[in-house]
Structure 1
Amino acid sequence: MTDQPETTAPAETSQARIISTKVRSATVPLDYEVEFGGKVWTEITVRRVTGKEVQGYIDALARGENIAPPMFECPLEVYDALDDDDRMAVEEAALPFLPRRLKAAAGSSPQSGSATSAS
């Protein structure tokens, strides 16, 4: 027995993650490709978002920030540059993945033409 304090190994950092087998994303091919930052975007992936992402998005909109909806895996510049038909296809593909909170916010938005944009 020693008088030295007992040391413990540092706790491993673990992250919570969703493990559901339900489909959580879809890829939408673009009819009109977009080039940005040296990359050609031929498709956009849409996905379900976490509660933290939704809250961050709502908070950013409340601060007046112009940000891309978090369910679209592309930069805002690409989202803004999409041909309108492609943008509509991307937004329609996102509908099944929208959490109820964003569906409710989109329904109360004066611009009901866009399911995800409150701007």
Structure 2
Amino acid sequence: MKEHERILKYQFDSYCKKVIKRTACRLLKINKNRLDHEQSIDSLININYNSHSFNYDGEDLLEELLKLDKCSIAILIAYYVHGMTCAEIAELMKTTPQRISYLKNKAIGRLRINLKEKEI
């Protein structure tokens, strides 16, 4: 019986080592991916943005935002202000993430068109 217990102990130790090794490899991969996609705040501040894309007055933007329907406003606020994902918003609004993404993009498109018309 002692031989059987020794074999079981060896198998368990081997299994634990495999789990630890795989977990460590997975964590290293996740960390590497995160570091590959990170940018420092300093590098983001130094980016030269196209001045044309930021020449709107906050009041103009607010005025155009208020012309949108309440659902679109709620989606834009949840997404851009609260940092929620489309899936999280969809769960709250009891719809699909695809529908939220569509409505968000449609609202942004309407804002873009209205602001361009106002500029002319």
The TM-score bracket by the shorter chain reads under 0.3
Higher RCO, 1 vs 2 (CA within 8 Å, ≥6 residues apart): 1
Q: Which has the higher helix share?
A: 2
Higher strand proportion (structure 1 or 2): 1
Q: Which has the larger radius of gyration?
A: 2
